Amino acid sequence: MKQVELTKAEEQVMHILWRIERGFVKDVIKELDEPKPAYSTVSTIIRILVEKKIVSYKAYGKTHEYFPLISKEDYSKQKMGEMIHKLFDGSTQKMLSFLVKKEKLSLSDLDEIMQTLKK
What's the pLDDT tens digit per position in 51-99? 999 999 999 999 999 999 999 999 999 888 888 889 888 888 888 788 7
Q: What's the whole-number mean pLDDT along residues 7-23? A: 96
State the pLDDT at residue 59.
Answer: 96
Work out the mean pLDDT of the chain and round it to a whole number: 90
Domain ranges of the chain: 8-68, 72-118
State the pLDDT at residue 1.
Answer: 61
User: Concatenated DSSP letters for 83-101?
Assistant: HHHHHHTT-HHHHHHHHHH
Is pLDDT above 80 for 104?
A: no
User: Concatenated DSSP letters for 20-78?
Assistant: HSSB-HHHHHHHSPSSPPPHHHHHHHHHHHHHTTSEEEEEETTEEEEEESS-HHHHHHH
Architecture of domain 8-68: Orthogonal Bundle (1.10)
Which residues does residue 55 pair with via DSSP β-bridges, in sequence order?
68
Higher pLDDT, 101 or 42: 42
